[in-house]
Each structure stands twice: as C-alpha cells, then as structure tokens.
Amino acid sequence: MHDNQPRTSTPDALPEVITRYLKAHRAHDTATAITAFTSEATVIDDGNTYEGTEAIGDWLDRSATEFNYTIHLTGAQRTDPTRYIATHHLEGNFPGGAIDLRYQFTLRDGLIERLVIAP
C-alpha cells in the first residue's frame, strides 16, 4: 500500500484533537470544542464559511440549539498524514430527518485548521 492511499481506520484511531472536538460538539461544550481549532481555522457547513475561533464558536452555539438530533460516528478514514474524514449519521427534527455527513478535517500543528461538513 502506498503512503498516499486512503486508509480506513476505526473511529478510535482518529487523532486526539478530532475526538476531543467531536465529543465536545456532541456535548454542546463550545469552550472545549474551540480548543481543538487553530486561531485562524475555517469551518464550512451547509454552504456557509466561518473563519476564526469567534465565528466558529458562534456557529457551534447556534448549531447546538437550532435542532434536536442524535449523532453517531459510523466510520473514520485517514486520507493523508494531515487529513481525516469522520462519517456521522444524524437523526433529528431537521429537514429530512436523517442524513449521513462527512466531516473532513485538515490538521496543522496538532490542531484543526479546516473542517468541511458535507453529505
């Protein structure tokens, strides 16, 4: 296997910074979730871009209260040494009621530099 090939891994093989963010996000713990990001991080979710930890914190607070939903990590993959994909299944009172989302993480210096959330 070549080093640049995607590798499927178990969810517990994700880097600590990603699992810290995911656990904090599920617990609606914005203060802890923010510690996983670089100060100039970018999050892209639902067609919107949030740049910097203040904007990301506002997005986290809003997403925690906009809908009620359950979220389950269903898969994890390392696509290269700094990029990971965590696939989640969400069910709740949002339009459509259920969706599978790919959380695409890019890391820099042990923190999340970029997060893209998309189906």
Residue 3 has pLDDT above 50, yes or no: no
pLDDT of residue 8: 60
In the predicted model, what is the mean pLDDT of residues 25-44?
Answer: 96
pLDDT of residue 67: 85
In the predicted model, what is the mean pLDDT of residues 11-30?
Answer: 90
Q: Where are the beta strands (DSSP E) in 1-119?
A: 7-9, 37-45, 48-51, 69-80, 83-92, 98-108, 111-118
Residue-wise pLDDT for 41-69, tens only, equals 999 998 999 999 999 999 999 987 888 88
Q: Which CATH fold would you assign to the domain 7-118?
A: Nuclear Transport Factor 2; Chain: A, (3.10.450)
